[in-house]
Structures are given as structure tokens and as C-alpha cells.
């Protein structure tokens, strides 16, 4: 899940506006920003969440320390969008987003993060490390392997953090950014400080994973699925997903390294597990909370218990480029799967931002 230090207080856990009707989401999928030609970006046509259930044939490519599994949609020579999932999710969070973007002419690449789905480590001796810079470098390696110099990066949860890091450290690789929950780069030292109890309560699974009991639960197939499904319901209280939807994603949890990666990620972020020295220089830079300079749209979901109060005010100073913030009413944590049209529209809009266009802020 997202960075627990991204806000100081959490109010209204489990409360918010009633589920937004599809018509309202459609009405609020308005075009924003200014294109290079002075014309507004195209409007993404509405799609009912759950319209698609699968991608085409998945691909794999060797990249860095991994053989990365990924889905791809759209024209091979179109401008590239890389969509990055979080935990406990997989590439199916973008199963409706990908065809929407492909229809707009984008080449859409949706990789399984390390430890998920068909992505595998090339060597049995490689540390099953899930610190933030390692995951970000996986995506840089994927871009290199696919000969993608520059892409729009769009993600949520672990995917937002990964996209934020790449935009901060390698801005020349990022044409523009869509980041759900805003600025999620982790400061491990700050993570060691307590939050107000109500906020800590929301992060119960992090503390569970810090124990041997939690580790063993993640290694048990039944408990792992039950725990992940429980999290889905808690963080997306208005998303009425069915068994088939969950099972399509849960198959990605069968990766042999899944438990090790999940446990290491959360323990590392709390300062309870070591990373690898080869990533130290990146982590030192990330600990300074570097400013992101690329054009960015941040998204908050008002039914997500991790959304910070203040409509993005807590992280606004971390974005110095052309910027817009949007709050999605009636939507929970899994934004791209719950609101695919709004997510895809954000990608199209940010891709049309000019460096001198006026910032935009609205609720939808």
C-alpha cells in the first residue's frame, strides 16, 4: 500500500460521498491542460468498469535481474504509457484502462512487478529485495529492454511510488506522470516515527507483516488469498467486485517469490529489514524527498482510507512542473480498475500539458 508518512492525520476512515453514478463520472471526465497545438486533448469515451476481463497473450523479456512478464496493447510505434500496479493487485487493475488508451493511439505496457504473476528472478541467488529503488530500476531495465527511451508513467500504490521515483531520479525517461495518492517516495527514517493512533490503525497489515506470524500467513495460499481479499474490501468500500474479478488477480499471488517480496517491502519501509548496498546511493537521494519536475496529474480517491485530507495540499510542494490535482468521488483505492475512464483521461490530459500551462485543480 501507499507510504504511511504521506500524511500526518487521517480523518473520516471509511466515510465519504456515496458511490458516484457512472453518468457523473462521465460528466466529470473533462479535458484539461493545453496541447502543443493549442487544441484540447481528446475526451476518452466512457467505459463501464469490468467491461474487459483479460489482456491478449502476455509477453516476457529479460530486464536487469528479472524476466519480466507484461501485457501490451495498442500500436507498436505509438507513444508509450507504462501502467504500474500496487499491492495486493496485479496487471488486471488496468484491464479496462489499456484498451481505452490503445484506442487513443498509445502503446500501453503493463508489467507485473517483481514477485508477481509471470515475472521471475533470473537467478536463485539474487536477494528477494523489494526496496523502492530496486523496483524502480526494474522498470528502467524494462524500458531499456523494450527500447523505450521515454514514456508516460501512470500508477497507484506501489506503482505510484515506483513512477514517482523514476520521475524524480530519471526525469529524462518520463514524458509525464499520473500518480494516485500523490507523492509516495518513502523516507525510511521518517517511517520510524509514530502516527496518530487512528492513522496507525489503517496500517494494521504492515505491523502484521513485521511478525513471523504475518510472514507465515503470506506463505500460506489460503490465508494469503483471504488476507488480500479482506484488504480489497476495506480500502475500496464502494467497489462491488465479484469472485471472478478477485481470482483473476489472485493468480498473480502464486508467484514463488510473492510472499518474500511482499514481506520484505513492508519490513524495509519500516526500517526492519536491510536493503542491498548497491542501491544505497539512490536511497540517499530519495531520502531528501526530491522534487518532481515532469508534468504531473495527481489523483485522490475520496473513499480510499489512505487519501490524505486537503486535496493534495500535503504533497503539492513536491511537484514543480505543470501540475493538476483531481479528487474522484465515490472511488476507493484501486483507482484504475474502479474508475478506468477517469484514470485514462488523466493520462491523455497530462500527455497534452504544456510546460507553461496554468495549473488545474478540481473534484470529479
Q: How many angstroms separate the Cα of 248 from the Cα of each of 244, 245, 265? A: 6, 5, 23
Calpha distance 68→87 (Å, rounded): 17
pLDDT tens-place string over residues 177-223: 999 999 999 999 888 888 888 888 888 999 999 999 999 999 999 99
Calpha distance 225→208 (Å, rounded): 15
Q: What is the pLDDT of residue 1?
A: 54
DSSP 290: P
Residue 22 has pLDDT above 50, yes or no: no
Calpha distance 337→321 (Å, rounded): 27
Mean pLDDT of the chain: 89
Q: What is the pLDDT of residue 11?
A: 27
Residue 172 has pLDDT above 50, yes or no: yes
Mean pLDDT of 284-291: 97
Q: What is the pLDDT of residue 195?
A: 84
CA distance between the termini of the chain: 23
Calpha distance 17→134 (Å, rounded): 37
pLDDT tens-place string over residues 126-152: 999 999 999 999 999 999 999 999 999
Residue 27 has pLDDT above 80, yes or no: no
Percent of the chain exceeding pLDDT 90 equals 81
Residue 249 has pLDDT above 90, yes or no: yes
Residue 363 has pLDDT above 70, yes or no: no
Q: Are the C-beta atoms of 320 and 293 separated by less than 8 Å?
A: yes
Helix spans in the chain (H): 22-27, 97-103, 132-145, 158-169, 188-191, 197-202, 204-209, 212-219, 221-235, 243-250, 258-269, 280-286, 335-338, 340-351
pLDDT tens-place string over residues 49-83: 999 999 999 999 999 999 999 999 999 999 999 99
Amino acid at each position: 500500500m501507499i507510504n504511511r508518512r504521506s500524511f500526518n492525520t487521517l480523518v473520516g476512515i471509511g466515510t465519504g460521498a456515496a458511490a458516484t453514478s457512472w453518468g457523473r463520472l462521465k460528466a466529470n471526465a473533462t479535458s484539461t491542460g493545453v496541447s502543443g497545438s493549442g487544441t484540447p486533448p481528446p475526451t476518452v469515451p466512457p467505459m463501464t468498469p469490468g467491461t474487459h476481463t483479460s489482456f491478449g497473450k502476455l509477453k516476457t523479456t529479460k530486464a536487469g535481474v528479472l524476466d519480466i512478464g507484461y501485457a501490451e496493447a495498442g500500436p507498436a510505434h505509438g507513444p508509450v504509457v507504462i501502467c504500474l500496479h500496487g499491492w495486493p493487485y496485479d496487471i488486471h487493475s488496468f484491464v479496462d484502462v489499456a484498451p481505452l488508451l490503445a484506442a487513443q493511439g498509445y502503446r500501453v505496457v503493463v508489467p507485473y512487478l517483481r514477485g508477481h504473476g509471470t515475472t521471475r528472478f533470473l537467478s536463485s541467488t539474487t536477494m528477494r529485495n523489494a526496496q523502492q529503488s530496486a523496483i524502480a530500476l526494474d522498470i528502467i531495465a524494462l524500458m531499456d529492454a523494450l527500447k523505450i527511451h521515454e514514456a508516460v508513467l501512470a500508477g497507484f500504490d506501489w506503482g505510484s511510488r515506483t513512477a514517482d521515483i523514476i520521475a524524480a531520479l530519471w526525469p529524462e525517461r518520463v514524458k509525464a506522470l499520473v500518480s494516485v495518492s500523490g507523492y509516495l517516495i518513502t523516507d525510511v527514517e521518517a517511517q520510524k516515527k509514530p502516527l496518530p493512533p487512528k492513522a496507525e490503525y489503517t496500517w494494521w497489515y504492515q505491523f502484521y507483516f513485521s511478525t513471523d506470524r504475518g510472514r507465515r500467513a503470506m506463505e500460506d495460499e489460503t490465508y494469503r488469498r483471504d488476507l488480500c481479499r479482506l484488504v480489497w474490501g476495506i480500502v475500496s468500500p464502494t467497489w462491488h467486485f465479484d469472485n471472478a474479478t478477485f481470482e483473476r488477480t489472485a493468480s498473480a499471488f502464486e508467484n514463488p517469490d510473492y510472499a518474500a517480496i511482499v514481506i520484505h517491502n513492508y519490513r524495509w519501509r519500516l526500517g526492519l529489514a536491510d536493503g542491498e548496498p548497491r542501491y544505497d546511493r539512490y536511497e540517499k537521494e530519495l531520502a531528501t524527498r526530491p522534487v518532481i519536475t515532469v508534468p504531473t496529474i495527481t489523483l485522490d480517491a475520496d473513499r480510499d482510507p489512505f487519501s490524505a485530507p486537503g486535496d493534495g495540499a500535503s504533497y503539492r510542494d513536491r511537484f514543480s512542473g505543470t501540475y493538476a490535482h483531481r479528487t474522484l468521488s465515490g472511488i476507493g483505492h484501486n483507482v484504475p480498475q474502479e474508475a478506468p475512464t477517469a484514470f485514462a483521461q488523466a493520462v491523455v490530459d497530462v500527455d497534452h500539458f504544456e510546460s507553461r500551462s496554468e495549473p488545474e485543480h478540481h473534484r470529479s
